[in-house]
Amino acid sequence: MQIHWHRQDLRAADNRALARAAAAATGDAASTGDADGAAPRGAVIPVFVFDDDVLEHAGNPRVRYMLDSLSALRSWYRERGSDLVVASGDPTEVLPELAATYDADRVVWNRDYSGLARERDAAVRRALNEHDVERESFHDDIIHPPGSITTNDGDPYSVFTYFGRKWQAREKPDPISPPRAETLADVSGDDLPTIDELGFEDPDADVPEAGTEPARERLEAFCADGIYRYEDDRDYPTRDSVSRLSVDLKFGTIGIREVHAATESARERIVDVETNGDADPDDERIDSIEEFQSQLAWREFYTHVLFFNPNVVTGNYREYEHDIEWRNDPEELQAWKDGETGYPIVDAGMRQLKSEAYMHNRVRMIVASFLTKDLLIDWREGYAHFREYLADHDTANDNGGWQWAASTGTDAQPYFRIFNPMTQGERYDSDAEYIKTHVPELRDAEADLIHEWDDLTPTQRHGVAPDYPAPIVDHSERREAALSMFEAARGDD
Ligand code: FAD
């Protein structure tokens, strides 16, 4: 028997480690990559371990989505005469125990790239070794694993553009088939714990429907429409042109090869139907598809950055001459968290986070800039808040996003480019539709007045939206203060 240890790959299809174990179950030479064939290794037992160390860093929305995904995955296995075996505790103890219980002599899993996960996996490897259990891990979560896209000198890239070009030019593997029912072990697992039993609460936010089928529906809907408008519309939070796949990619309810293949099919559809096979170089829809693929490349870029620099989780990627003297202002931090800053687009974003466990990318950039450059508060405070409330919180992407906004990251926003939250709101939400959706106090206000909120007098503000706060800081003053803070850190005179 073999064990497949599910972690951030809560799916059966397009799952490399699971497919390799399933192929080995029957000694399928071609799929195991063994030219001479191999002896059958026995059926695969799918396992999930609730690990306290991982749960310690989780938030309610993520635990909800994870439990729902596990439930969907379990149904998939049950429909094929198998089951998802669930256990709790330290994987270094639980996995050797499960291997003994089920007489399994091999454990496989897909790799995680964060420093903590790699330490855990090394410990699991040692523990299994002590029990004479074979173990093997596979690259699966991203298309091109760390170390496979480097500078000509073999170093990891610290600038996205060159990385992105190489990433795009590389051949992409096809999606991987799910295991056949006969390769899966006839086992039955205990019930999944409830969210309370795990020490969490049902979130106030509406967490998206979890599991592979809803993820595929999101992908399909996006590839039928939004992907063709992505380049022009992706920055506008109400244009419904983004995929909303981040939570699925984070928990692996859908495989990255499957996502990429769907984007290629979207390209083929317009090329074949409209031009008889010849791509029109001026077709903006092709640029849009490539722009979307480029976001998948950003995801992989940040995973590489995290892999080669595990310390970025808590430390700046980019060192300044001196420490950045962030301000510590609990009241302003709380106003930001509550969406009560008096900057409408910022507050709309922070409230979307609470109500949907999600925030649109452009707005993430705006609120992150506001925290670090207007409130001058350390990006780690923002990262911790996002980690708690985002369903799609992903160490590499969240960290990459925050350090980009804080001008401390790799290929980050230069410190002197500071978003003006009023003009950002006016540009990307000109009708204030997004703002009104999330900030009910402004629902009856005219868009023009919302975009002038910082210029209105207290009396005017009272007339327009009496319950909405005045701006808690003056953007122009804080912009100057932020420049001084960074110049001091740089050691400029
Ligand atoms: P789409 O626009 O449809 O993009 C498709 C996929 O590409 C996303 O699902 C995601 O996997 C990837 N992607 C898109 N943009 C980025 C990016 N800038 N960096 C890395 N990958 C990207 N993304 C997360 O997945 N988890 C996070 O915790 C996270 N935190 C962020 C924090 C900040 C401060 C910022 C500025 C960005 C953060 N992002 C994070 C990146 C981005 O905002 C989200 O991936 C995106 O908004 C998710 O929506 P979507 O799936 O509709 O994206």
Question: Do residues 351 and 460 both lie within one domain?
Answer: yes
Give residue 36 CA to ligand 1 midpoint distance, Å.
43
Best of 294, 397, 399 to mutate for ligand 1, by most ligand atoms within 8 A of CB? Answer: 397
Indicate which atom in ligand 1 lies nearest the CA of residue 246: 9
Indicate which atom in ligand 1 lies nearest the CA of residue 390: 28
Question: Do residues 297 and 362 both lie within one domain?
Answer: no
Question: 295, 339, 301, 333: which is closest to 317 by C-alpha?
Answer: 301
390 Cβ below 6 A of ligand 1: yes
User: For residue 395, what is the domain's CATH number?
Assistant: 1.10.579.10
Q: What pLDDT, on the 0 to 100 scale, is given for residue 278?
A: 65
Q: What pLDDT, on the 0 to 100 scale, is given for residue 34?
A: 52
Q: What pLDDT, on the 0 to 100 scale, is given for residue 74?
A: 98
Q: Based on the structure, what is the number of domains in the chain?
A: 3
Question: Do residues 286 and 365 both lie within one domain?
Answer: no
295 Cβ below 6 A of ligand 1: yes
Where is the domain boundary, 104, 123, 140?
140
- In this prediction, residue 30 has a pLDDT band, given cuts at 50, 70 and 90, of low
Mean pLDDT computed over 332-346: 98
- In this prediction, residue 412 has a pLDDT band, given cuts at 50, 70 and 90, of confident
Is residue 195 assigned to a domain?
no
Mean pLDDT computed over 295-311: 97
Give residue 244 CA to ligand 1 midpoint distance, Å.
9
Where is the domain boundary, 308, 338, 364?
308
Q: Is the pLDDT of residue 29 over 60?
A: no
Percent pLDDT > 70 in the chain is: 96
Name the residue at shortest CA distance from atom 13 of ligand 1: 295
Where is the domain boundary, 140, 162, 188?
140
Best of 361, 366, 371 to mutate for ligand 1, by most ligand atoms within 8 A of CB? Answer: 361
Q: What pLDDT, on the 0 to 100 scale, is given for residue 160?
A: 96
Q: Is the pLDDT of residue 443 over 80?
A: yes
Question: Do residues 288 and 418 both lie within one domain?
Answer: no
Mean pLDDT computed over 298-308: 97
Q: Is the pLDDT of residue 256 over 60?
A: yes
Question: Do residues 13 and 113 both lie within one domain?
Answer: yes
402 Cβ below 6 A of ligand 1: yes
Q: What pLDDT, on the 0 to 100 scale, is given for residue 31?
A: 54
Question: Do residues 287 and 356 both lie within one domain?
Answer: no
> Alpha-carbon distance 138 to 467, whole Å?
54
Is residue 262 assigned to a domain?
yes
Indicate which atom in ligand 1 lies nearest the CA of residue 360: 47
Is residue 168 assigned to a domain?
no
Question: Do residues 275 and 336 both lie within one domain?
Answer: no
Give residue 323 CA to ligand 1 midpoint distance, Å.
28
Q: What pLDDT, on the 0 to 100 scale, is given for residue 274?
A: 60
Q: What pLDDT, on the 0 to 100 scale, is given for residue 218?
A: 98
244 Cβ below 6 A of ligand 1: yes
392 Cβ below 6 A of ligand 1: yes
User: For residue 100, what is the domain's CATH number?
Assistant: 3.40.50.620
Question: Do residues 362 and 301 both lie within one domain?
Answer: no
412 Cβ below 6 A of ligand 1: no
Question: Do residues 228 and 292 both lie within one domain?
Answer: yes
Give residue 362 CA to ligand 1 midpoint distance, Å.
10
- In this prediction, residue 341 has a pLDDT band, given cuts at 50, 70 and 90, of very high
Give residue 404 CA to ligand 1 midpoint distance, Å.
12
Task: Give the range of the structural domain holding residue 261, as residue numbers without chain letter.
Answer: 212-308
> Alpha-carbon distance 9 to 18, whole Å?
10
Q: What pLDDT, on the 0 to 100 scale, is given for residue 271?
A: 81
Give residue 51 CA to ligand 1 midpoint distance, Å.
26
The model's pLDDT over 358-405, given as tens digits with 9 standing for 90+, comes to: 999 999 999 999 999 999 999 999 999 999 999 999 999 999 999 999
User: For residue 304, what is the domain's CATH number?
Assistant: 1.25.40.80
59 Cβ below 6 A of ligand 1: no
Q: Is the pLDDT of residue 275 over 90?
A: no
365 Cβ below 6 A of ligand 1: yes
Q: What pLDDT, on the 0 to 100 scale, is given for residue 272?
A: 66
Indicate which atom in ligand 1 lies nearest the CA of residue 387: 28
Is residue 281 assigned to a domain?
yes
Within 10 angstroms of residue 76's Cβ, the number of other Cβ atoms is 18
Best of 229, 258, 295 to mutate for ligand 1, by most ligand atoms within 8 A of CB? Answer: 295
Question: Do residues 303 and 221 both lie within one domain?
Answer: yes
Give residue 18 CA to ligand 1 midpoint distance, Å.
27
- In this prediction, residue 41 has a pLDDT band, given cuts at 50, 70 and 90, of confident
The model's pLDDT over 130-159, given as tens digits with 9 standing for 90+, comes to: 999 999 999 999 999 999 999 999 999 999
Mean pLDDT computed over 80-95: 97
Is residue 91 assigned to a domain?
yes
Question: Do residues 458 and 422 both lie within one domain?
Answer: yes
pTM value is 0.95
Higher-pLDDT residue of 124 and 492 is: 124
Mean pLDDT computed over 271-277: 64
Is residue 201 assigned to a domain?
no
Is residue 198 assigned to a domain?
no
Q: Is the pLDDT of residue 276 over 80?
A: no
| Residues in Cβ contact with 295 at an 8 Å cutoff, skipping those fewer than 6 apart | none
Name the residue at shortest CA distance from atom 43 of ligand 1: 361
Question: Do residues 263 and 403 both lie within one domain?
Answer: no
Is residue 322 assigned to a domain?
no
